[in-house]
Structure formats: structure tokens, C-alpha cells
Amino acid sequence: MQAVRSQLTQEWLQSRLGQALLQCEARVVEEALDGIFGEQCLQLGMWGDRRTFLRFTRTHRCSLIGETAAGHPCAVGEMHRLPVESDSIDAVLLPHTLDFSDRPHAILREVDRVLRRDGRIVILGFKPGGLWGLRRLIPGAGLPSAADYLISDRRLRDWLQLLDMSIQATARYFFRWPLPVNKARVSAKWERRGQAWWPELAACYMLSAQKRVSPMTPVRPIWSRRPKVVAGLAESSTSATQVSRIRFEQDS
């Protein structure tokens, strides 16, 4: 089932509409990954090919985990049970991964687990509304097969904040009718106009968040204590012994 869905998705991405979307998203991801450094970047889910987005990473290494072997990912596994060590990843990219999963909360918890302190997450998703919200009324229009779990950017923002992540950036993009035969070229100028004038009509969104650093519990200093006076060691007289006993009782 996963293999069939992956094949249908890749066929959709090879259409004019899919190629236009990938072209637009390449610019969005390049800007989102700019300034994110570290050792390891991880992409969850195949969208396009292995180099579509990972070529823009600034980390020393990058990997891709897919649900099937289609597209030759670095590893195959389930998105909600990642074969990745905890606190080992600097950046995670989810290109429409949540749009195809009925377990988005579990995936986000796994991402939170594998991210290091100050790690970043970049998510691409289809908007439930906008121009593409009318796709059911247009013959021949539609999203890739099995993209049945669309999450709004507002709801996703709430979920990430519940995981104690800080929202860093949001963007809405791709202002085109969802028609496979649409031959209009992707224009950066048109995209800027859409983002400025009618962002609610966008087909997709990008959301970037950062894992918060838990504050360290301060260690209270061990204050030096005044030495106790032990009776009978310093003085031999009866009066001195009595004074020493009084001081010892007070300190105790």
C-alpha cells in the first residue's frame, strides 16, 4: 500500500502542476534552511528526489528516511518510530509528510525526541482552505493521492507550542489554481504579491520552529558555617567551661 501511494505521489509531482510546486518549494526551503548549521540534517519522507531539498542544507551531513525504498532513501522506516538516536539531529525537514499520515502527533513527538537542544524543524504542508480548498468543485483538480490528513498552519503552530517549541518563521506560498494542465510559469514576483495581498489564498505553507533549551536548575552554594565551640577543650577553669557550653548550645 505504501509503495502504491509513493508511486502515485511521484507521478503527481512529475505533472506540470507538481513540477511548478517543487520549483516554488525549493526556494522556500532554501530560505528556511539558510542559517541552520550543525552536524546532521534529517528529511522525513520522500518528496521529489533525494537532492530536491537536501542540497540546500548547511550541516556537515544530511540523510533522508523514507517509508519505502522508492527513490533510494538513506534508510527505510516508520515516521512515528524513527530508527534514530535521541538528541542527535540539528535540523529536521518534513516536506508534506504530515499530509499523508494519520499519526501526526506521534511523528512530531519523535521529531522532538531526536532533535538536539536548539534544534530546528521545518514543515511544508497543504492548506485545507485557500484556492485549493475549491479543488473538489473543479473536475480534474486535486492533491496527490492519499493526502487526506491536511492540517492548518494555525493548528500545527499550537501543537508545536505544546511541545515547548518556539515558532521561528511562517510563510504561505504557491498561488495557482490546482489544475494539472495549468501551463503558467511560477513567478517570484507573483508569489510576492500573493504573500503580501492575499496570503489566505495560498495552496501551501511553511512553518519553522526551534526546540527550546530547558533552563538548568541552579545549584545553591553551600554556605560556610561558623565553627562550633566544643566545651572543655580551650579553657580549664569552671567559668570558661560554662561559657563554652553556652556557645555550643546556642550554635546547636
pLDDT in tens, 23-40: 999 999 999 999 899 999
Residue intervals of the chain classified under CATH 3.40.50.150 are 2-211
pLDDT at 17: 87
pTM for this entry: 0.80
Place 236 in a pLDDT band, splitting at 50, 70 and 90.
Answer: very low
pLDDT at 243: 44
Question: How far is Cα 204 from Cα 200, in angstroms, rounded to an integer?
Answer: 10
Q: Are 247 and 234 in contact (CB under 8 A)?
A: no
* Helix-helix angle 2-13:16-33, to 10 degrees: 90
pLDDT at 122: 98
pLDDT at 31: 95
Asked whether residue 182 carries a pLDDT value surpassing 60, the answer given is no
> What is the average pLDDT across 49-78?
93
Per-residue model confidence as pLDDT tens digits over 133-154: 766 656 666 778 788 899 999 9
Grid cell of 233 as nine digits: 577543650
Q: Are 188 and 27 in contact (CB under 8 A)?
A: yes
Residue predicted with more confidence, 124 or 226: 124
Q: Are 133 and 127 in contact (CB under 8 A)?
A: yes
pLDDT at 16: 87
CATH topology for 2-211 is Rossmann fold (3.40.50)
Other beta carbons within 10 angstroms of residue 227's beta carbon come to 7
Q: Look up residue 128 and give its amino acid.
A: P
